[in-house]
């Protein structure tokens, strides 16, 4: 089990840079050299769906592992961006795709709208997009060839709520993924899923009020001991879903959030052997 230690990130907020990203969902990436020889590269309208989002990274020389950071049902909110930046402080290149891009890239604070958006997400397309995000990180794209930042095939996925569910499924899809972390994320076939994992998994499970969701979480927890890869389950009594979301006053619990975050940081450090 991961031990809890006080976290002291190696990079400050001022040392973390951010940029927008936009690339083909087909995995065909234009490099800086392509743009140099194609005068229409910046204005050409692509035919395929584009993956859009943000990328956070330390503004220091070096190669860092990559994290694909998966937002919850509310969309790619400022709170998601804040957490992604915080994770980048630990020494990662953090790519945050917008899963609602096919629906106009909406962000909402309305629970009914959030649920409607979430249920319209095609999970198979979302999993393909996560895989393309890993390939984008592998491509080490930069305006300057000397500024490569990401280690190749050193990727993890970290997801919240809807994103946590996708993180668990993605752990069964990509052979080269190193780890998956899920904050919440209810799955229907936990016992089957744990037999197809390609990487270690850390799952933060709140004590849910919904009885059917609680049962599914319990089944996943029971199956974890028989998993083909290490599965660490952390439970949070007297919490509801989204206890980590500081914009939801009805569910946010800062002490539990700090505990879950420290465990996550240590888990990823152990995976990537980072200082």
Residue 63, CB half-sphere, CA atoms under 13 Å: how many?
A: 14
Q: Of 81, 130, 120, 84, nearest to 100 (Cα)?
A: 120
pLDDT at 217: 76
Average pLDDT over residues 133-139: 92
CATH 3.40.50.1820 fits 13-272, yes or no: yes
Q: Give percent above pLDDT 70 in the chain.
A: 85
pLDDT at 116: 95
Average pLDDT over residues 71-100: 96
pLDDT at 103: 87
Mean pLDDT of the chain: 86
In the structure, what pLDDT confidence band is assigned to residue 39 with cuts at 50, 70 and 90? low
Least confidently predicted of 41-45, 94-98, 133-137, 202-206? 41-45
The DSSP annotation for 36-91 comes to: HH-TTTTT---SSPEEEEEEEEESSSS-EEEEEEE--TT-S-HHHHHHHHHHHTTT
Which structure tokens are listed for 107? Answer: 């962000």
235-267 pLDDT, tens digit each: 898 888 889 999 998 889 999 999 999 999 999
pLDDT at 5: 44
Average pLDDT over residues 204-218: 73
In the structure, what pLDDT confidence band is assigned to residue 210 with cuts at 50, 70 and 90? low
Cα–chain center distance at 62 = 22
109-119 pLDDT, tens digit each: 999 999 999 99
pLDDT at 3: 41
> Does 99 score more than 50 pLDDT?
yes
> Does 209 score more than 80 pLDDT?
no
Count of helix runs (H) and strand runs (E) in the chain:
8, 8
The residue extents of the domains of the chain are: 13-272
This prediction has a pTM of 0.89
Length of the chain: 275
> Does 171 score more than 80 pLDDT?
yes
Quick check: 264 and 158 in contact, CB under 8 A?
yes
User: Which helix (DSSP H) or strand (DSSP E) does residue 25 occupy?
Assistant: none
Residue 6, CB half-sphere, CA atoms under 13 Å: how many?
A: 1
> Does 141 score more than 80 pLDDT?
no
User: Which helix (DSSP H) or strand (DSSP E) does residue 20 occupy?
Assistant: strand 16-24
pLDDT at 36: 55
> Does 148 score more than 80 pLDDT?
no
pLDDT at 191: 80
The DSSP annotation for 189-214 comes to: -HHHHGGG-SS-EEEEEE--S-HHHH
pLDDT at 190: 77
Q: Give percent above pLDDT 90 in the chain.
A: 58
Q: Which residues contact 234 (CB under 8 A, 6 or more apart)?
A: 202, 203, 204, 205, 260, 263
**CA 44/CA 208 separation, integer angstroms:** 48
**CA 109/CA 90 separation, integer angstroms:** 29
pLDDT at 123: 94
Average pLDDT over residues 98-109: 92
């Amino acid at each position: 089990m991961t031990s809890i230690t006080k976290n002291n990130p190696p990079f400050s907020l001022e040392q973390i840079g951010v940029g927008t990203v936009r690339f083909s969902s087909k995995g065909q990436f234009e490099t800086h050299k392509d743009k140099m020889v194609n005068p229409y590269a910046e204005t050409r309208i692509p035919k395929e769906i584009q993956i859009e989002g943000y990328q956070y990274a330390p503004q220091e020389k070096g190669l860092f592992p990559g994290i694909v950071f998966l937002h919850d049902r509310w969309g790619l909110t400022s709170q998601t961006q804040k957490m992604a930046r915080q994770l980048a402080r630990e020494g990662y290149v953090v790519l945050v795709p917008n899963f609602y891009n096919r629906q106009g890239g909406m962000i909402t604070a309305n629970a009914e709208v959030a649920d409607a958006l979430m249920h319209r997400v095609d999970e198979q397309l979302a999993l393909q997009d996560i895989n393309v995000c890993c390939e984008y990180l592998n491509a080490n794209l930069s305006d300057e060839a000397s500024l490569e930042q990401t280690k190749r095939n050193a990727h993890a996925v970290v997801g919240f709520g809807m994103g946590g569910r996708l993180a668990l499924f993605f752990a069964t899809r990509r052979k080269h993924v190193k780890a998956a972390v899920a904050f919440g994320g209810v799955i229907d076939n936990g016992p089957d899923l744990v037999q197809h994992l390609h990487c270690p998994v850390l799952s933060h499970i709140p004590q849910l009020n919904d009885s059917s969701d609680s049962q599914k979480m319990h089944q996943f927890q029971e199956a974890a001991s028989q998993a083909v890869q290490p599965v660490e389950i952390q439970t949070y009594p007297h919490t509801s879903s989204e206890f980590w979301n500081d914009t939801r006053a009805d569910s946010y619990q800062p002490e539990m959030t700090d505990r879950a975050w420290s465990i996550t940081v240590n888990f990823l450090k152990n995976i990537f052997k980072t200082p």
